[in-house]
Structure formats: C-alpha cells, structure tokens
Amino acid sequence: MKNRIKVYRAMHDLSQEALANEVGVTRQTILAIENGKYDPSLILAARMAKFFNVRIDDIFLLDTIGE
C-alpha cells in the first residue's frame, strides 16, 4: 500500500522514532510501513491519521484492485 507518512512526518518535523513513540510502535515499524514492506492495521492507521489530524485515506493510498 502506498502512503504519505514520510511527507506528513516532514511537514511536522518528526523523525521516524518520534512518530513511532506517538503512535505506540517501533521505529522499525514506521520504516517498514514507509517502504511499503508492511501494511498497518486499521487501528494503527487510525492512530496516525488522528495524530496528524487528517483522514486515513489522506495518508494511505489504496492500490487499484486488479493492477
């Protein structure tokens, strides 16, 4: 799943570790999500959206089905 986490982190001047601490995961989890190697749970996606005060689909971009 494509995402804009890195963009939102930059807009808020946050490191991966700082975001990880805010949403209750490890820095490695944030890195894996940013690199598309791990899809977050709905709960984690919601935590990130709430932290950045945006909708989940502003951060996470669903791939078109069938591509």
| The CA-based dihedral angle spanning residues 34, 24, 12, 5, taken in that order and rounded to the nearest 10 degrees | 20
3-class secondary-structure state, position 39: coil
CATH code of the domain containing 33 = 1.10.260.40
pLDDT of residue 62: 77
Q: Say if 67 falls within a structural domain.
A: no
| pLDDT for position 64 | 57
The domain of 33 spans 2-61
Q: How many domains does the chain divide into?
A: 1
* Phi-psi sector, 43: left (phi>0), alpha (psi -120 to 50), beta: alpha
User: Averaged in consecutive runs of 10 residues, what is the pLDDT profile of the chain (67 residues)?
Assistant: 95 98 98 95 97 96 64
Say if strands 60-61 and 2-3 run parallel, antiparallel, or are unpaired.
antiparallel
- Report yes or no on 66 lying in a domain: no
Q: In DSSP terms, which residues pair with 60 in a beta bridge?
A: 3
Q: Evaluate whether residue 26 is within a structural domain.
A: yes
